[in-house]
């Protein structure tokens, strides 16, 4: 056996992994080669020194920490029944929960306020005609009669006012939708002072203008 062969086999030899034949041939070489013998002895020394190293003592706190981890992981395992998907889902749920918690109260308050506000507004906003009861107040000279003209608005209502030269209403007629029915009591409207901004300028200035001014109420 050559020195090169011993070099290749010395780890196996030191660890006792050589077959008996190889081992005896190597030992025969060592008896005649001081260099190889020295190398083998040094390797043995290194090996025994390493084996004699004291095992480091794990800190006492480590056991407690490992138990805490084990307890948590065991709890998660029982909760998720070993499903990786559920574990990931739970992790995300936890993270989202932690992230959203500071925002929950303000966000909920804002959301509820918005819902209430828009809910109240939505009641007043409509594109379709609804049947509602209105009472059109008419102002007389000496009193107000809010129940003078009870109307049931089922569609757009055309209120046609007849004015005198002073801009006072002398007559009125209500036409509801396409119907030709008129409701009105000119006698009861005498002397009222309803002021309507849509009146023509000529009427406001007192010019005689016996005409019809349509006023449309849209429910």
Alpha-carbon gap, residue 69 to 75, rounded angstroms: 10
Alpha-carbon gap, residue 170 to 186, rounded angstroms: 6
Q: Which stretch binds another protein (CB under 8 A): 10-18, 102-110, 151-159, 206-214?
A: 10-18
Q: Does 88 bind another protein (CB under 8 A)?
A: no
Nearest-approach distance from CB 71 to another protein, in angstroms: 8
Q: From residue 179, give the alpha-carbon distance in Å to each of 152, 154, 161, 190.
A: 13, 11, 17, 26
Nearest-approach distance from CB 9 to another protein, in angstroms: 10
Q: Which stretch binds another protein (CB under 8 A): 41-49, 99-107, 186-194, 206-214?
A: 41-49
Please name the residue ranges forming H helices in the chain. Answer: 3-14, 20-32, 34-51, 60-80, 84-124, 186-189, 201-204
Paired with 139 in beta bridges are 144
Mark residues 46-85: x for contact with another protein by CB under 8 A, - for none. xxxxxxxxxxxxxx-xxx-xxx-xxx-xx--xx---x-x-
Q: Which stretch binds another protein (CB under 8 A): 39-47, 107-115, 124-132, 161-169?
A: 39-47
Q: In the structure encoding, which two tokens stand for residue 178, read together? A: 């396409």
Residue of 12, 27, 37, 164 interacting with another protein (CB under 8 A): 12
Alpha-carbon gap, residue 115 to 45, rounded angstroms: 83
Where do contacts with another protein occur on this chain (CB under 8 A)?
Answer: 10-12, 15, 17, 42-43, 45-59, 61-63, 65-67, 69-71, 73-74, 77-78, 82, 84
């Amino acid at each position: 056996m050559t020195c090169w062969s011993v070099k290749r086999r010395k780890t196996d030899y030191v660890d006792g992994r050589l077959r008996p034949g190889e081992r005896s041939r190597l030992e025969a070489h060592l008896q005649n080669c001081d260099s190889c013998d020295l190398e083998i002895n040094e390797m043995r020394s290194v090996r025994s020194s390493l084996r004699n190293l004291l095992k480091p003592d794990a800190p006492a706190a480590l056991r407690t920490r490992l138990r805490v981890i084990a307890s948590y992981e065991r709890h998660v395992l029982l909760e998720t029944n070993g499903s990786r998907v559920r574990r990931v889902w739970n992790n995300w749920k936890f993270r989202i929960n932690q992230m959203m918690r500071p925002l929950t109260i303000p966000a909920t308050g804002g959301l509820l306020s918005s819902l209430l506000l828009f809910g109240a507004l939505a009641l007043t906003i409509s594109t379709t005609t609804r049947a509602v009861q209105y009472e059109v107040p008419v102002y007389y000279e000496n009193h107000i009669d809010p129940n003078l003209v009870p109307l049931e608005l089922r569609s757009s209502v055309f209120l046609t006012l007849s004015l005198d030269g002073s801009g006072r209403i002398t007559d009125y007629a209500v036409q509801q939708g396409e119907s030709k029915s008129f409701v009105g009591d000119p006698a009861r409207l005498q002397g009222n002072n309803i002021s309507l901004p849509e009146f023509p300028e000529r009427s406001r200035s007192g010019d005689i203008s016996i005409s019809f001014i349509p006023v449309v109420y849209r429910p």
